[in-house]
Amino acid sequence: MSRYDLSFEAVVELLDGAPRYRADQLWEGMYRRYQEPGSITVLPREVRARLEAEPALASALREERRVSADRGDTSKWLLELHDGARIETVLMHHPRHSTVCVSSQAGCAMACSFCATGQGGFTRQMSVGEIVEQVVLAARASAESGRRLDHVVMMGMGEPMANYANVLDAVRRIVGDIGIGARHVTISTVGVVPGIRRLTAEPLQVNLAVSLHAANDELRDRLVPLNRRYPLSKLMQACGEYVEATHRRISFEWALIDQVNDRAADAAELAALAMPLKAHVNLIPLNPTPGYPAVGTPPGAVRAFRDRLTSYGVNVTVRKTRGQEIAAACGQLVVETPVGLKPRRGVAAQTAS
């Protein structure tokens, strides 16, 4: 249990005897000003001293390392959780907005063949507080550099839909308490159909991103093993129901892999899935990982693939790879083991860069 796992009622109880507005001040300091409970100076000194010693208000994240790239516009944190599990969080500043890419599980059990996190295996689920505190960390760092964090993507380590209840509780706090617009929050999935169905029924205006990577079952079975459980016909049916019920735009993520999923036939198959749903396609050249031999599609072939999709009428964006040199790009989040420490079970021993 950590500070962002507590409900407001639990905070009121912690401040036993203090007027209720003190709980409001503590909540506001933690969620809107990203402050340490002991540094919220509107609270009386003796209350702050008590809060500093309160185990339930401990931080969930211990920063092991922060590295930066792109002239400081991309930062990656290596964070240790209370039990020694480790995760990564990435903050990206763009000219008009700032986005944090949040981990939802320590490791991942989905075993996508091209993904560094998947190659490292699953460690454990993350709690609501552990997920929310990554956003607070990035919001504080953004504020310190004069920026405002305004986008959250659940695309870090883990499959968000495999930790559905905690991810959704975290999203409610990110939207309701931190104040980031629901339309600026994106939940990704490699195709957990029951999760998409549950999200369809939520009264939340968040975005859904489906990491597709292949548009026929034969190839997708190889790239995304979960496809054997939820093949494309079932996945597309769930996506269709989501779009129809929510009237929200869905996006398909496509890591372009040289000679694997970047051929003319792949573009045609992808267009055939995207067009009926009016899905937006995001193309991201694959980042190199040590456990997967293929490389990303070269720039000329990326443009050709994009143009082919456009000719079919698909809305498509080529995403810039950010932070490749610090292994902070998509499919690269894997906890490296610092010199002198043994790798933990399920955690890869080296970085993907």
* Interacting residues toward ligand SF4 by CB under 6 A: 108, 110-112, 115, 117-118, 157-159, 190, 211, 331
Nearer to ligand SF4, 99 or 188 (CB): 188
Tokens of 343: 């790798």
Please identify which residue in the block is written with the tokens 């169905």. 197
Smaller CB distance to ligand SF4: residue 25 or 104?
Answer: 104
* Catalytic entry in 108, 112, 115, 330: 330
Q: Round to whole Å and give the CA distance between 2 and 130.
A: 8
User: Nearest-CB residue to ligand SF4?
Assistant: 118
Q: Least distance in Å: CB of 117 to ligand SF4?
A: 4
Q: Is 88 a catalytic residue?
A: yes
Q: How many CB atoms lie within 10 A of CB 351?
A: 18
CB 230, min distance to ligand SF4, A: 13
Please, what is the minimum distance in Å from the beta carbon of residue 247 to ligand SF4? 27
Please check whether residue 22 is in contact with residue 43, taking contact to mean a CB–CB distance below 8 angstroms: yes
Q: 23 or 212: whose CB is closer to ligand SF4?
A: 212
Strand 74-80 relative to strand 62-69: parallel, antiparallel, unpaired? antiparallel
66, β-bridge pairs: 77
Nearer CB in complex with ligand SF4: 14/157: 157
Q: Which residues pair with 91 in a beta bridge?
A: 75, 100
Q: Where are the alpha helices (DSSP H) in the chain?
A: 8-14, 20-31, 45-52, 116-120, 128-144, 164-173, 193-200, 217-223, 232-246, 264-277, 299-311
Query: Which one-letter DSSP state was computed for residue 257?
Result: B
For CA atoms 194, 135, 103, 185, the dihedral sign is positive
Q: Check 88, 133, 253, 336 and give the catalytic one.
A: 88
Please, what is the minimum distance in Å from the beta carbon of residue 111 to ligand SF4? 6
CB of 286 to ligand SF4, least distance (A): 11
Positions marked active-site? 88, 330
